[in-house]
Amino acid sequence: MSQSPGPRRLAGSIEMSPRGPLLRAADGMRWRLRYSDQLDDLIGNAVIVEGVVTGSVIDAYYLAPRMDPFQC
């Protein structure tokens, strides 16, 4: 599924891959995640990510643990 570039808010969980961190959304979509801060404490946990999407990459400017059920 092709996404147009622009800011988005996504929910999912953080996974590590050989190429770096990924966001796996509830629908199974995987996004490569670019984020300047440490992610070690968020790996395997539910998060909310806001960032600019280009193709399958999210340049995240906000990332936080998800405490409540997320609804768009």
- Mean pLDDT value across the chain: 86
Domain boundaries defined on the chain: 6-65
- Cα–Cα distance measured from residue 38 to residue 43, given in angstroms and rounded to the nearest whole number: 10
Whether the pTM exceeds 0.85: the reply is: no
Q: Characterize the bridge pairing of strands 30-34 and 57-65.
A: parallel
Percentage above 90 pLDDT, the chain: 58
Q: Within its chain, how far is the Cα of 23 from the centroid?
A: 4
Average pLDDT over residues 52-66: 92
- Alpha-carbon distance values, 6 to 10, 16, 60, 67, 69 (Å): 12, 24, 11, 25, 24
Residue 55 in tokens: 């193709």
Q: Which of 2.40.50, 2.60.120, 3.30.70, 1.10.1660 would CATH assign to domain 6-65?
A: 2.40.50
